[in-house]
Amino acid sequence: MNLKKLPKHSILVIAIITTWIKTYITYQTSFDMKIENAMQQLILFINPLAFLLFIYGISLFFKTAKVRNRYMITMSIILSIVVYGNVAFYRFFNDFLTLPVLFQTSNFSDLGNSAGSSMYFGDIFYFTDTILLILAVKFLPVAKEATIVKPNLRRTYFVLSFAMLFLNLGLAETERPQLLTRSFDRQLLVKNIGTFNYQLYDIFIQSKSHAQRAFADGSELSDVTNYIKSNQAENNKKTFGVAKKRNVIIISLESTQNFVINNKVNGQEITPFLNKLTKDKDTFYFDNFYHQTGLGKTSDAEFIIENSLFGTGRGAVFFTNSGNTFNSMAEKLDNNGYYTSVLHANNKSFWNRDMMYQALKIKHFYDVDSYHVTDANSANWGLKDIPYMDQSVNIMKKLPQPFYTRMITLSNHFPFTSDPEDQLIKPYTSDDNTVNRYFQTVRYTDEAIKELFKDLKKSGLYDNSIIVMYGDHYGISENHNKAMAQYLGKDSITPFDSAQLQKVPFFIHIPHSGIGKQMHEVAGQMDVRPTILHLLGINTKDDLQLGTDLFSKDHKDFVTFRDGRFVTDKLVYAGEVCYDKKTGQKTDISKCQPYIEQSNKKLDYSDKIINGDLLRFYDDQTGKTKSNNKK
């Protein structure tokens, strides 16, 4: 090839093709896109093109070669950063970046070894297109030539690039109807419209949600309140108030999934203490309980527990809506004479907790500064769970009673590393070290809970408290399906299995009550708030909450996930497929249809409340709308 005689738009063509190919290879190698047919493959292949034609095409307006080249290199760098940012984020969160998350840089500095272990030297690959473009600009003679184009030609070029966009959207619409209007699942979006268009779409959605708050005036509330009131569950007279005036200790069990309960690895129990509790006469153990979190992970779980509403579909609600008005469980308990706090040995700004806890009306946040943390008593993400329990009970002893306190464990956090002396069981054996280690850190947290119970008994707090524990979200993401399939003795993990793996343990321990039993209702984190408040004898009939009391006969066996998947007693809906829960086989979609609609409605109402900040117009004392409370 004669490099001197390259066609005049070669630099533009090189920029487009290299970024296009790199993006496509990235889709194939770095994200799990779940491509099911040739059409989806085609959409995935063409989806970066329209955007790249457009963005690099702007260079056709520049009159000098120098400005044009600079523009293209700058764009290429920005796009490479976007792609790489998504890759690094995906490795950790198994999800794509959204704008609010980008502003959570304070979190990223704390992610420490997690983020570190998500970056490799080979990642230079994600910049190959930029490097090639820079080389082309430097060494190809054609790069020195200005490429002035006639307006007509330019117009044709842009018409073509828009045609490409519409072709892409058209194909996507046939594959996934209502893709853009029901955007609860980022995976589908990126798969269909591409990572660049998705990023633009996200900016659009963010601005829309800001506008939604600005324009909301409370009139939207009547729909929401009607829906919520018609789905309320009657109190159960037997359990209502059984734990009246007791202290409440709620523990978020980091990354603890339900499959570890009453299960073994290498013949050894993974959670011997929790296993005993599942059969304990003072404990309710729920074995069909699911997390409902999204990108906000631990913080989403906290949000759901406090408010019985979903987090937002984009980013962590702890960041996006920490300025909202809420009617949290903490606020409710504060009104009922409780002293409220959170005990968590991490920086107060992580997940924006310091801000959000004010909005949730939590009186005191005992953060890392309230703990004695040394090299010897920390590992992985920080203070180990056993010293954390010991020190937390020391703090609790000084709290005014009755108190409500939420604890958040940390040792069982990805990447699940621990000190040899804390490894109480042998690791699992598979070619996936994350999964292998997971069992050991879960085992350690179980030991920490045993320690907590012991400490509470010693301090005298135990008899007059209730202890509630929930798994916050999955610990083993779908990136580890191979090892999980091996552990569970399955050929592969289907979307049906993945949905079932979102089960997390939920315990309510009421010392000396003697009323405990194993409960099988299909439930979710949303149900914790009403369930606990009712056990304490506090009514929630005027609260705008989406969950129901798990002891009520009106509770429905139906749980919706943040991404629109759902589980009932008979069905599982996942990956756009309706499954029979008993057999795990595909079944007629029409069986799922009514629940799909109900799920969408629930998500929609929850989003309306949060995006419009509607609780600022609601008086939870009277259940009435407050007029004109714009602030």
Cβ 315 vs Cβ 538: under 8 Å: no
Binding partner of 548, given ligand GP9, Mn ion, none, CB within 5-8 angstroms per partner class: none
The answer to whether residue 298 forms part of the interface with Mn ion (CB under 5 A) is yes
User: In this structure, what is the dihedral angle of CA atoms 594, 595, 596, 602, given to the nearest 10 degrees?
Assistant: 120
Query: Which residues partner with 403 through β-bridges?
Result: 339
The answer to whether residue 413 forms part of the interface with ligand GP9 (CB under 6 A) is yes
The answer to whether residue 297 forms part of the interface with ligand GP9 (CB under 6 A) is yes
Least distance from Mn ion to the Cβ atom of residue 158, Å: 46
**Residue type for 313, please?**
G
For Mn ion, give the closer residue by CB, 422 or 472.
472
Active-site residue among 298, 434, 540, 568?
298
Report how far residue 433's alpha carbon sits from residue 177's, in angstroms, rounded to the nearest whole number: 39
Cβ 183 vs Cβ 205: under 8 Å: yes
The answer to whether residue 562 forms part of the interface with ligand GP9 (CB under 6 A) is no
Residue pointed to by tokens 């850190």:
441
Which residue's beta carbon is nearest to the bound ligand GP9?
A: 297
Identify the sign of the CA torsion 249, 499, 312, 622.
negative
Cβ 139 vs Cβ 39: under 8 Å: no
Least distance from Mn ion to the Cβ atom of residue 606, Å: 21
Binding partner of 346, given Mn ion, ligand GP9, none, CB within 5-8 angstroms per partner class: ligand GP9
23 catalytic residue (yes or no): no
For ligand GP9, give the closer residue by CB, 354 or 580.
354
Report how far residue 214's alpha carbon sits from residue 296's, in angstroms, rounded to the nearest whole number: 24
Binding partner of 408, given ligand GP9, Mn ion, none, CB within 5-8 angstroms per partner class: ligand GP9
Least distance from Mn ion to the Cβ atom of residue 475, Å: 8
Q: Which residue in 90, 290, 350, 438 binds ligand GP9 (CB under 6 A)?
A: 350
The answer to whether residue 300 forms part of the interface with Mn ion (CB under 5 A) is no
- Report the site for Mn ion in 25-64 (rule: CB under 5 A): none
Report how far residue 401's alpha carbon sits from residue 403's, in angstroms, rounded to the nearest whole number: 5
Binding partner of 292, given ligand GP9, Mn ion, none, CB within 5-8 angstroms per partner class: none
The answer to whether residue 91 forms part of the interface with ligand GP9 (CB under 6 A) is no
The answer to whether residue 298 forms part of the interface with ligand GP9 (CB under 6 A) is yes
Binding partner of 246, given ligand GP9, Mn ion, none, CB within 5-8 angstroms per partner class: none
For ligand GP9, give the closer residue by CB, 192 or 411.
411
Q: How many residues bind ligand GP9 (CB under 6 A)?
A: 7
Least distance from ligand GP9 to the Cβ atom of residue 349, Å: 10
For ligand GP9, give the closer residue by CB, 196 or 371.
371
DSSP string, 176-204: STTTTTS---HHHHHHHHHHHHHHHHHHH
Least distance from Mn ion to the Cβ atom of residue 159, Å: 49
The answer to whether residue 472 forms part of the interface with Mn ion (CB under 5 A) is yes
Least distance from ligand GP9 to the Cβ atom of residue 346, Å: 4
Paired sense of beta strands 289-290 and 523-524, if any:
parallel
Report how far residue 468's alpha carbon sits from residue 251's, in angstroms, rounded to the nearest whole number: 6
Q: What angle do CA 90, 201, 199 make, to 5 degrees?
A: 35
Least distance from ligand GP9 to the Cβ atom of residue 358, Å: 17
In sequence order, which ranges of 405-467 are alpha helices (DSSP H)? 433-459
Q: Which residue in 104, 346, 392, 418 binds ligand GP9 (CB under 6 A)?
A: 346
For ligand GP9, give the closer residue by CB, 291 or 565.
291
The answer, yes or no, to whether the previous bond of 402 is cis (omega within 30 of 0) is: yes
**How is residue 473 written in tokens?**
């979200």
Q: How far is CA 220 from its chain centroid?
A: 27
For residue 241, the number of C-alpha atoms closer than 13 Å in the C-beta half-sphere is 4
Report how far residue 243's alpha carbon sits from residue 374's, in angstroms, rounded to the nearest whole number: 37
For ligand GP9, give the closer residue by CB, 239 or 298.
298
Identify the sign of the CA torsion 340, 225, 294, 591.
positive
One character per residue 235-274, x = contact with Mn ion (rule: CB under 5 A): -------------------x--------------------
Least distance from Mn ion to the Cβ atom of residue 297, Å: 5
The answer to whether residue 529 forms part of the interface with ligand GP9 (CB under 6 A) is no
One character per residue 242-281, x = contact with ligand GP9 (rule: CB under 6 A): ------------x---------------------------
The answer, yes or no, to whether the previous bond of 495 is cis (omega within 30 of 0) is: no
The answer to whether residue 371 forms part of the interface with ligand GP9 (CB under 6 A) is no
For Mn ion, give the closer residue by CB, 52 or 295.
295
Query: Which residues partner with 470 through β-bridges?
Result: 252, 506
Q: How many residues bind Mn ion (CB under 5 A)?
A: 4
* Of 174-182, 294-302, 361-369, 622-630: span binding Mn ion (CB under 5 A): 294-302
Q: What angle do CA 382, 320, 313 make, to 5 degrees?
A: 95
Cβ 449 vs Cβ 469: under 8 Å: yes
The answer to whether residue 235 forms part of the interface with ligand GP9 (CB under 6 A) is no
Ramachandran angles phi, psi of 406, nearest 5°: -110, 135
Please state, as a whole number, how many other Cβ atoms lie within 10 Å of the Cβ of residue 478.
16
For ligand GP9, give the closer residue by CB, 413 or 509.
413
For ligand GP9, give the closer residue by CB, 20 or 388.
388
Please state, as a whole number, how many other Cβ atoms lie within 10 Å of the Cβ of residue 514.
8
SS (H, E, C) 106-160: HHHHHHCHHHHCCCCHHHHHHHHHHHHHHHHHHHCHHHHCCCCCCHHHHHHHHHH
Cβ 287 vs Cβ 471: under 8 Å: no
Least distance from ligand GP9 to the Cβ atom of residue 254, Å: 6
Cβ 533 vs Cβ 542: under 8 Å: no
Paired sense of beta strands 247-253 and 403-408, if any:
parallel
Identify the sign of the CA torsion 594, 598, 603, 607.
positive
For ligand GP9, give the closer residue by CB, 19 or 370.
370
Least distance from ligand GP9 to the Cβ atom of residue 34, Å: 24
Binding partner of 350, given ligand GP9, Mn ion, none, CB within 5-8 angstroms per partner class: ligand GP9
Cβ 198 vs Cβ 597: under 8 Å: no
Least distance from ligand GP9 to the Cβ atom of residue 408, Å: 5
For ligand GP9, give the closer residue by CB, 169 or 342.
342
Positions marked active-site: 298
Applying CB under 6 A, the residues found at the interface with ligand GP9 are: 254, 297-298, 346, 350, 408, 413
Applying CB under 5 A, the residues found at the interface with Mn ion are: 254, 297-298, 472
